[in-house]
Amino acid sequence: MRQSRYFIQTMREIPSEAEVISHQLMLRAGMIKKVAAGIYDYLPLGLKVIRKVENIVRENMNKAGAVELLMSVVQPAELWQLSGRWNHFGKELLRFKDRGERDFCLGPTHEEVITDIVKSQVNSYKQMPVTLYQIQTKFRDEVRPRFGLMRGREFIMKDAYSFDIDDAGADISYQKMYDAYRSVFNACGLRHKVVDADTGAIGGSFSHEFMVLADTGEDAVMSCTKCDYSANIEKAQVVDNGEKETVELSPLEEVATPDKHTALEVAEFLGVDIKHVPKTMIIRCEGVMDGKEEKTIFVACMVRGDHEVNLTKVKNIVKAKSAEFAEHYEVQDMTGCAVGSLGPVNMPLKVYVDNALKYVSNIVVGANKESYHIKNVNLDRDAKIEGYFDIRNALSGDKCPLCGAEYEETRGIEVGHIFKLGTKYSESMGAKALDKNGKNIPIVMGCYGIGIGRTAASAIEQNYDESGIIWPKAVAPFEAVVVPVNTNDEEVIKKADEIYECLLNMGVDVLIDDRNERAGVKFNDADLIGYPLRVSVGKKTLSDGKVEVLIRRTKEVILIDADNSAAEKIKEILDTKVL
């Protein structure tokens, strides 16, 4: 492609709206343009990256035997009412009415539509296994869209759905997608980890997340330093071990703790180790089944003062659909006491205690009375609790549940998520098929997503420097740029054109920056946009019979002969030295 016939506009300033590096760099490199909050146009350079990611995904889906289709963006309410999600999905589901006052929504995901398709087309085990996928624009009306393509409202996603007659088949389909996802992120040239994950709102029996590793990642990942185990912090198991302190149990003692609210403040004020000052938090759990009805309940959770409550674990233990910290006014309503002085003694709510508190004695807890705490509490003696559970976040140094070695924490960006769904949707929507015995049973499903735009953005978060993006070759908008340095020199122009044409013919995805601009401008743009290879044809080096090749990632400069072999040599560098 000749840049003079292309459409690239870079900018020097860091756009004030962009908080994260991938967002800043995509705006500056002229890859995306904001249309509204969380809604972006993909400009030509950005679209090229998106298409490369899409093609890698498509290739690996096809290789895994998945079949591509394309479902509608606009979905009728009826399907969502059938699955029961029309009322449960929350405001992320953008609902609207058409001119005939019928209810529709913009598809945030396609379980309903695909289940309806399979219901209408499949009625026998003979037609399965089948995995269907699409690459499509979705919409989720996020309350706080941000970070560019990282958390947009309109976004491109690959979603796949597997259908099997039984669990064993569904496990095989799941494994195929798992393997395909590994291949996708490997082919994209991204360092990543697969982690155990919670199944969340989608539901189902098990789940893995694919995390691109980046210091700037939103998600914490706990990985074993020895074995292969990795898990999202939401899910990472904490092994219940320790030794009970062998001290004499002292009698309870109420103490005034004026203006001391955090565990740390109280510990320091009383001169106690923070491990002996647990936090008691009130959690709102929605969607807890009580007979046939869903209820919202509040529970108290206790973790050590130096630990953090893990809401996902609480949610799963309480068997709720969601778990969130209660608002201050809710805490006041439920306990009669303000946040900061809560404790398990005479707590009117059920109390769930983290395993780590099993091993400490004579602890300090809130007195459920503003500005008072109680010393020498021993939970088994002084409080009524539901029991000890794993309800805290894992920490670096905690033990791996598989091999006992230590966890270490890394940061990641979730780019893929796969779920074994089971029969959640096929049951509610009546998608059944005859098994080998002629019995009509609900189909067993899996669902599998990759955020295409997010994968592109994560590639930047993982690969950039102070000058700009360093694209992995596989997803770079162009693999190489040829820069004629002196645009008024005929020899230079001729040689640059010649190399460009040769590279094109060799199948290299190459751009020639044929603008009538200073070399500095072109170099800055090349660095910012992040082409893996820059080939500079300049008067000076050319007079020595040389052309300069710069590897963007390593900044290695290679002088090659400017003769007929130049393009081949460049191709060789691209194939062997560029990731």
Short-list 508, 503, 505, 578, CA closest to 547: 503
Contact flag: residue 40 with a copy of itself (CB under 8 A): yes
Contact flag: residue 137 with a copy of itself (CB under 8 A): yes
Contact flag: residue 12 with a copy of itself (CB under 8 A): no
Q: Which amino acid is at 383?
A: A
Contact flag: residue 143 with a copy of itself (CB under 8 A): yes
Q: Which of residues 392-431 bind a copy of itself (CB under 8 A)?
A: none
- Report in angstroms how near the CB of residue 96 gets to a copy of itself at its nearest: 4
Q: Judged by CB under 8 A, which stretch of 42-50, 263-271, 335-343, 425-433 contacts a copy of itself?
A: 42-50
Q: Nearer to a copy of itself by C-beta: 72 or 565?
A: 72
Alpha carbon 430 to its chain's center: 31
Q: Nearer to a copy of itself by C-beta: 71 or 297?
A: 71
- Report in angstroms how near the CB of residue 51 gets to a copy of itself at its nearest: 9
Strand partners, 416: 210, 450
Distance CA 345, CA 377 (A): 8
Q: Judged by CB under 8 A, which stretch of 115-123, 171-179, 290-298, 418-426 contacts a copy of itself?
A: 115-123
Contact flag: residue 153 with a copy of itself (CB under 8 A): yes
Short-list 155, 47, 46, CA closest to 109: 155
- Report in angstroms how near the CB of residue 122 gets to a copy of itself at its nearest: 8
- Going through 304-396 in order, the beta strands assigned E by DSSP cover 322-325, 351-354, 363-366, 372-377, 387-389
- Report in angstroms how near the CB of residue 392 gets to a copy of itself at its nearest: 33
Q: In what order do the strands lie in the sheet with 253-256?
A: 253-256, 372-377, 363-366
Tell me if the bond preceding 129 is cis, omega within 30° of 0.
yes
Contact flag: residue 455 with a copy of itself (CB under 8 A): no
Q: Nearer to a copy of itself by C-beta: 58 or 553?
A: 58
Contact flag: residue 47 with a copy of itself (CB under 8 A): yes
Contact flag: residue 30 with a copy of itself (CB under 8 A): yes
Of 94, 239, 441, 504, the residue at the interface with a copy of itself (CB under 8 A) is: 94
- Residue 449 host element (H or E): strand 444-451
Q: Nearer to a copy of itself by C-beta: 98 or 544?
A: 98
Of 59, 71, 371, 558, the residue at the interface with a copy of itself (CB under 8 A) is: 71
Q: Which amino acid is at 7?
A: F
Q: Nearer to a copy of itself by C-beta: 33 or 319?
A: 33
Contact flag: residue 452 with a copy of itself (CB under 8 A): no
Q: Rounded to the nearest 5°, which phi and psi values hold at 80?
A: -75, -25
Per DSSP bridges, beta strands 432-434 and 546-551 are unpaired
Contact flag: residue 124 with a copy of itself (CB under 8 A): no
Contact flag: residue 139 with a copy of itself (CB under 8 A): yes
Of 17, 19, 63, 98, the residue at the interface with a copy of itself (CB under 8 A) is: 98
Contact flag: residue 437 with a copy of itself (CB under 8 A): no
Q: Which of residues 73-92 bind a copy of itself (CB under 8 A)?
A: 73-76, 79, 91
Contact flag: residue 168 with a copy of itself (CB under 8 A): no
Short-list 60, 45, 52, CA closest to 473: 52
Of 44, 348, 397, 404, the residue at the interface with a copy of itself (CB under 8 A) is: 44
Q: Judged by CB under 8 A, which stretch of 133-141, 343-351, 365-373, 387-395 contacts a copy of itself?
A: 133-141
Q: Judged by CB under 8 A, which stretch of 118-126, 286-294, 389-397, 440-448 contacts a copy of itself?
A: 118-126
Q: Nearer to a copy of itself by C-beta: 46 or 401?
A: 46
- Report in angstroms how near the CB of residue 154 gets to a copy of itself at its nearest: 5
Q: Rounded to the nearest 5°, which phi and psi values hold at 287?
A: 75, 35
Give the count of beta carbons closer than 10 Å to the beta carbon of residue 98.
10
Q: Check residue 392 and report its DSSP letter.
A: B
Interface pattern 237-276 for a copy of itself (x via CB under 8 A)? ----------------------------------------
Contact flag: residue 150 with a copy of itself (CB under 8 A): no
Q: Nearer to a copy of itself by C-beta: 412 or 446?
A: 446
Q: Nearer to a copy of itself by C-beta: 422 or 453?
A: 453
What is the dihedral angle through the alpha carbons of 45, 46, 47, 51, rounded to the nearest 10 degrees? Answer: 100
Inter-residue contact 471 to 561 (CB < 8 Å): no
Inter-residue contact 306 to 266 (CB < 8 Å): no
Name residue, tokens 């180790």.
273
The size of the interface with a copy of itself (CB under 8 A), counted in residues, is 52
Q: Nearer to a copy of itself by C-beta: 104 or 125?
A: 104
Inter-residue contact 457 to 26 (CB < 8 Å): yes
Of 27, 61, 113, 447, the residue at the interface with a copy of itself (CB under 8 A) is: 113
What is the dihedral angle through the alpha carbons of 457, 518, 554, 529, rounded to the nearest 10 degrees? Answer: 10
Distance CA 490, CA 33 (A): 37
Q: How is residue 84 written in tokens? A: 């029961």
Contact flag: residue 104 with a copy of itself (CB under 8 A): yes
Strand partners, 558: 549
Distance CA 180, CA 35 (A): 34
Q: Is 114 exposed, middle or buried (0-12, 13-18, 19+ CB in 10 A)?
A: buried
Q: How is residue 244 written in tokens? A: 């009970």
- Residue 303 host element (H or E): strand 293-303
Contact flag: residue 179 with a copy of itself (CB under 8 A): no
Under the rule (CB under 8 A), what is the footprint of a copy of itself? 5-7, 9, 30, 33, 35-36, 39-44, 46-47, 50, 65, 67-76, 79, 91, 94, 96-99, 102, 104, 106, 113, 116-117, 120-122, 130, 132, 137, 139, 141, 143, 153-154
